[in-house]
Chains A and B, each alone.
Chain A
Amino acid sequence: MTDVKYTIKDFKSENEVRWCAGCGDFAIINAVQRTMAGMGIPKEKFAVISGIGCSSRFPYYMSTFGFHTIHGRATAVASGVKAANPELSVWVMTGDGDSMAIGGNHFIHLIRRNIDLNVVLFNNRIYGLTKGQYSPTSDRGFVSKTSPFGTVEDPFVPGQLVIGARGSFYARSIDGNLKLSQSVLEKAAEHKGTSVVEVLQNCVIFNNGIHNAITDPNHRADRQLVLEHGKPMLFGAENEKGLVFENGKLKVVKIGENGVTEDDILVHDAMEVDPTLHLALINMALPDFPVALGVIRAVPAPVYDVEMEAQIKEIQQTRKVSCVDELLNSGNTWEVTGNPNGSSKKCI
């Protein structure tokens, strides 16, 4: 940590922000800028990398180094940025089309390698920039311009891919909950390794209200479970509901009913290496379960860019070749002498 002090303004660029009025992206950029301002890292050490889509315009609205790349490849470009200079704080801004469809391969391999990047996945379950086609996270039967009779395919659940790819950090937030977003982004930034923060984001034009069932203020307490490491998994207006693990499955119980006490409720352990329970939490969906939010998984694991540098350092300690001249002259070489007029091979 250095003593650099920033405010959110230091991270805003001079460019006019061109998201639609009411877009969930405004809240997310706000949370990201607040998080960065509080990290104590010099501003020039931030690099924000994005692919294609509404959310991927993000770097242009930041005052940091930024690179708006091509569709689906932000994770791959960012991997190169971080490998080249591990001292940087590298952020990937991506959407559900960008990272779950065209960039799916790079997404899972980034997570498998555990490169120290912070990925913010804006999930609005629609293609917005191309004006309203279903996405890989749209529900089966979803009606859109390219599925006028409903889709006949199942969606990806991003958290499942993170677990499947042996992810070390996964959190979920909602665009409107700035406080929660900032809190999980801070934890994502602290985490060493790939951190994926899925933000449920509203597309006000093409998929307005897609997350309303979760965000509805009248039912929010019953439909959201905000997880905190070391705290019991309680929810409901009076924290009267909770989760237990029974017969290999999660189950919603009510405190006081059937002899259930608070001591019976699961305590969240984000640092448990075994992903079984984390996956079960990720899978929870309405109406039978609340939707899990907060940091679901944060486990220590070897970090690619750290290991890469360490390997180079280790090998360099006992190296026999320390410059290119030595390399070129290593191994089998021989001298040719006595041909003062010998020919070079260049011409005929």
Chain B
Amino acid sequence: MKETKVIELEEVAIRFSGDSGDGMQLTGTLFSDTTALLGNDISTFPDYPSEIRAPQGTVGGVSGFQVQFGKKQVNTPGDNANVLVAMNPAAIKANARFLEPGGTIIYDSDSFTEKNLRKANFETDDPFAECNLEDFFKIPVPISSLTQEGLKDFGLDNKSVMRSKNMFALGLVCWMFNRPLDYVEEFVKNKFRKKPVVVDSNIKVLHDGYNYGLTMQHMTPSYLVHPAEIENGTYRNINGNHATAWGLLAAAEKSGLELFLGSYPITPATDILTALSERKDLGVKTFQAEDEIAGICSAIGASFAGDLAVTTTSGPGLALKGEAIGLAVMAELPLVIVNVQRGGPSTGLPTKTEQSDLMQALYGRNGESPVVVLAASTPSDCFHYAYMSAKIALERMVPVILLTDGFLGNGSEPWKIPAMADLPSITPRVANDSEEFLAYKRDAATLAREWAFPGMAGFEHRIGGLEKNITGTVSHDPENHQVNSEIREEKVQRVVDMIPDLEICGDEDGGDVLVVSWGGTFGHTASTVRELRLAGKSVSLAHFNYIKPLPKNTKEVFSKFKKIIVCELNLGQFAAYLRNELPEFSYYQANKLKGLPFTVSELKESITKLLED
């Protein structure tokens, strides 16, 4: 017997791909969690269609899950996959352009039938040649028939049997990458604890896949990726939507308030609502409203009544909430609005990522309607920015929009678990002197008003969406409106004293090119800048999490560099905002609108070109 070929790697990206009913998201998630538990740094990218079950076997119905893991810092899920697991021919067609040259393709040879090849629009019987994949290392595995064979004594119908074939693929990949099966086994036992036959059949197939790799060592390579050298601490794997939900929970606990979420299901934000619905144990009130408008309006009502109030949505929902955000601006109530951005306009690309709601967040309302705008940059730091959004809202009596995106929301990475004691304090501006209380009397430094809610005797007052005077009484006085409009803007600007300075990653004293990015592109811009710097280029990164107001040293940072390039997943919205805020600089742009994250290689190309110009 030939020795197994062992390939030692710094990092590797695997893409699991099949029909949207093939369970590829679960397979990818289980593999990622297993890998994170082994101490590798990981970054994941679920990429799936918006149809729940698109026509079987078609390219449109392909669902993919890419995970990159390594012994060093992993900031992105990888431009291209080193290993592709393809459950059908359509998965080959859909993913051919996302494969690293010289990579490995494991495929279910049973599914490469004439019929399936036609469904995937292949013209010949050689899909690999058609996709120019001749040079790849291909491992045909009869996954379907081996799964059927393994379960022949279980008395299951064929549909149930075929549902387990993802476990065969998972077992095989676990063998290839030296991952133990116990985490997956535990998951299966827990998930199907009421259906013992499903537990047994899945575990059987999982082991069959693993053993297949072991037995066929001569043809399947084995990879070795050492654990990452990351900070000491306790870690867990977390995706952006969960991190957002938990950050809000942490803010509620820290501030001593109840958490209220008014929301309406919308991809890709729904998981935040789901995650908080599960937390009745922590007293969270979740209100699944009849529409996006009722989602935010119920939250505004809860804020009026003294809760930490939140609404969560994605782009189209933010559009519907616009008028109500204006009410929160005018009434000056604390409110957190989370927008998990997706491809637009209109329904756009519901399951794909984009950063094209920036202008909507900043300006998408009637009247002068300033709000604080933040953006998270990695799946795990959604926790921090959700927490900070709540802190700012509660301490400054202002609505805060937190922008994340589909890539962050669904993507996951290991996260060093913080301790509540280490998080900054949150002091809501609850009024305590009824003699002195006036609805719109302001703190001289922050311009924030005080918060008094029903149930507080002696603080009865009226607020609303009409322009008002200091007591809350309606006022149409021209001078009053001018002054109040300026105050509302200035109040947002003064949040600058709560936010950290902009950091320069790279040449702190300045250099040739400053890469500017914001929000969910951090992993890709940081990896790009790191690689360019390793190649000796004078390239640095300034990544923004605070959009409005901008950090106070922004101008100083920009002035240190010869060229500034703003990289974002839209047609140039942050660049336009910067041109407005800091017109003294010129901004180059790198933009992408494909519903996909940047790749490091395309960013390197844009920046290298700028360096050479």
Contacts and interface: CB of A to CB of B under 8 A. Distances in A.
Interface stretch (A25-33, A72-80, A196-204, A224-232): A72-80
Given A15-B473, A323-B282, A348-B529, A47 B305 contact: yes
A315 B280 contact: yes
A62 interface: yes
A335 B234 contact: yes
Contacts of A45: 454-455
A73 B294 contact: yes
B462 A70 contact: no
A45 B235 CA distance: 45
B506 A348 contact: yes
Contacts of B331: 67
Given A88-B455, A325-B420, A332-B37, A81 B305 contact: yes
B133 interface: no
Interface in B284-313: 285, 287, 289-291, 293-294, 297-307, 309
B232 A84 contact: no
A78 B301 contact: yes
A169 interface: no
A325 B419 contact: yes
Contacts of A85: 305-306, 453-455
Interface in B470-509: 473-474, 503, 505-506
Given A80-B262, A339-B232, A321 B302 contact: no
Contact of B39 (A78, A105, A336): A336
Given A44-B454, A315-B281, A332 B236 contact: yes
A249 interface: no
A102 to B, nearest CB: 10
Contacts of B73: 343, 345
B367 interface: no
Nearest to B503: A347
Nearest to B417: A328
A17 to B, nearest CB: 12
A90 B370 CA distance: 30
B375 to A, nearest CB: 16
Contact of A80 (B230, B237, B301): B301
Nearest to A72: B293
A83 B260 contact: yes
B327 A348 contact: no
A259 interface: no
Given A67-B462, A321-B282, A84 B418 contact: no
Contacts of A62: 462
Contacts of B233: 335-336
Contacts of B285: 83-84, 308, 312
B323 interface: yes
Contacts of B279: 321, 327
Interface in A33-67: 42-47, 49, 59-60, 62-67
Nearest to B308: A84
A73 B293 contact: yes
Contacts of A77: 297-298, 300-301, 304
Given A67-B463, A328-B246, A345-B378, A84 B293 contact: no
Given A73-B294, A84-B258, A334 B234 contact: yes
Q: Which 5 residue pairs of A and B lie closest in terms of their CB atoms, listed nearest first?
A: A80-B301, A68-B464, A80-B298, A76-B297, A319-B281
8 contacts: A67-B304, A80-B304, A105-B290, A106-B294, A109-B289, A323-B253, A324-B253, A332-B33
Given A82-B301, A344-B416, 15 more contacts: A42-B457, A59-B462, A65-B459, A70-B323, A73-B297, A76-B298, A79-B287, A311-B280, A312-B285, A315-B281, A319-B281, A334-B37, A334-B234, A339-B229, A345-B380
